[in-house]
Amino acid sequence: MADLAINEATDASHGCSMTESELALDENVGTTNALCEWAIGLKFSDIPRPVLERVKHLILDGIACGLVGGHVPWSEQCADAIFDYEPPGYCNVIGYNEKLGPLAAAILNGAFIQATELDDYHSTAPLHSASVVLPALLAAAQCLSTGNGRGDQAKQKVVSGLDFLLAAVVGFETGPRAGLALGGAELLTRGWHSGAIFGCPAAALASARLLGLAPADAESAVGIACTQAGGLMAATYEGMVKRVQHAFAARAGLFGALLARNGYVGIRKVLERRYGGFLSMFSQGNGAVPPYDVRRVVDGLGERWEIFGIRVKLHACVGGCHGQVEALAQLQQAHPDRFEKEKLRHITSIRVGLSSPIFAHDGWEPFQRPLETTGAQMDAAYIGASQLVDGQVLLEQFADRNLNRDEVWDLVMKTSCYHDRHFDQPHFACGARVTIDFDDGFKVETILDQPRGYNPPITDEDIRRKYRTLTPSAVDDELRLQRIEDLILDLENVDDVSELIGLLALPTKNVL
């Protein structure tokens, strides 16, 4: 598969030798088609067992986040608005009795998975894969099981767990590859919400695979999804819309697949087109030479799995600050007498060195007190102060009642962040250098290149433990939680995913 779109050293239309830079921008290389052919043709036997196991656990982690995130205050406000303005439909919503049409259901389910900053992230191509892929697939599955569509499409089709799992593999693999072709975190540095952009082709191809589209129709779906891509990272500072921007990508991808299913033709070659193409347009202004590399989309496809770059969060904040949190935890462990809560007032300054994209994304100075929950979970100074005061960065630290504590804000105001080029090295982007000065002249510093879960990754057992720790706060029924876990972890042997979808829709409660 790696040969499909990257090994042509000759321009097919001109017969002339091409430079590496020209190859990276070649719109005749057929990348979008090659990706779609792979996605639609993927077989169970093509996927190594470790990949399948990892994807099932990523699904479990995303579902845990959705169950916990469905009734936090900002999710309830989103749900109230959508239930007010969208008509009832046939698709379930996580944690609610009401049903919606597929596009509206995808919005809510995506917003719930991303609601608490506990969902996955990719370490080199930043996106939250579960909040993009799973909402699209849950809705697409119910389109099939309820027989919505025209002609032969109107026949009800049972969606097996294996069908769902293969489509999830497609989505989880596609998003990071689109992101890597755009330079990974570079898009984030320039202020785009990268995952809301990378996620569009991921949701489109996952949905197209589950809906049984032909490769040409899948390419239409990707084209329709990519022309809707967007997302502004100014959503970091305040408000609630940051929680729903990955859901916009889920909806865009699902919408593209549903239109293509009915014969609507989208943009061909959307990834590689030089004029108005996905990679061409979202790379403009980045200063790189070449500005994008279309070959990264399919390089090693089916042989090297970007799925293993998807990280699982252990802290309820932006993934880029996990290195900072863990660096502070190391200092607290190494110097327990210095970091006793009542002695934190003796700290005179905290300096935090971050990679370029994380400094741009999270190193900003707080401009108001208190921050709103979104801003607090995205601000390195507030996140670090919470770790110092509470010894943890979990949902409790961002509840409304905790956002204006004097002991936290004293440390926030003593914190300054800066760009440290050390962390611009590959795979160091979420690391941090932390330097702390005390009023008696004592100084401590530590460098943490990679937070937990990089090398080695968080284990599948850790993910199961996270699910079992998180979800009881939202669901009282232990048997329900166990059944959800059992179904997900045995997806390839599940005859019909309707039971799983129904279990997710039973009411949940507010964890805050």
Q: Which fold has domain 319-448?
A: 60s Ribosomal Protein L30; Chain: A; (3.30.1330)
Residue count of the chain: 512
- The dihedral sign for the CA sequence 36, 299, 56, 112: negative
pLDDT of residue 17: 67
**Over residues 73-81, mean pLDDT:** 97
Q: What is the pLDDT of residues 2-38, one digit of tens each?
A: 444 334 333 444 445 689 899 999 999 999 999 999 9
**Over residues 239-262, mean pLDDT:** 97
pLDDT of residue 13: 40
Rounded to 10 degrees, the C-alpha dihedral 362/364/370/373 comes to -20
**Over residues 68-87, mean pLDDT:** 97
Backbone angles phi, psi at 416, to 5 degrees: -130, 140
Q: Helices marked H in 283-433 — which ranges?
A: 322-334, 356-362, 373-378, 380-390, 406-412
**Over residues 137-158, mean pLDDT:** 89
249 has a pLDDT exceeding 50: yes
Q: Which tokens hold the place of 419?
A: 């760009």
Q: Which fold has domain 20-311?
A: 2-methylcitrate dehydratase PrpD (1.10.4100)
Q: Which residue has the higher pLDDT, 135 or 367?
A: 135
- What lies within 8 Å, CB to CB, of 6 at 6+ separation is 23, 29, 295, 298, 299
Q: What is the pLDDT of residues 201-235, one digit of tens each?
A: 999 999 999 999 999 999 999 999 999 999 999 99
Please provide the DSSP assignment of 29-75 as one string: S-HHHHHHHHHHH--GGGS-HHHHHHHHHHHHHHHHHHHHHTTSHHH
pLDDT of residue 418: 98
266 has a pLDDT exceeding 50: yes
Q: What is the pLDDT of residues 371-400, one digit of tens each?
A: 999 999 999 999 999 999 999 999 999 999
Domain layout of the chain by residue ranges: 20-311, 319-448
In 252-342, beta strands by DSSP E? 310-311
Mean pLDDT score of the chain: 94
Q: 211: part of which helix (H) or strand (E)?
A: helix 194-211
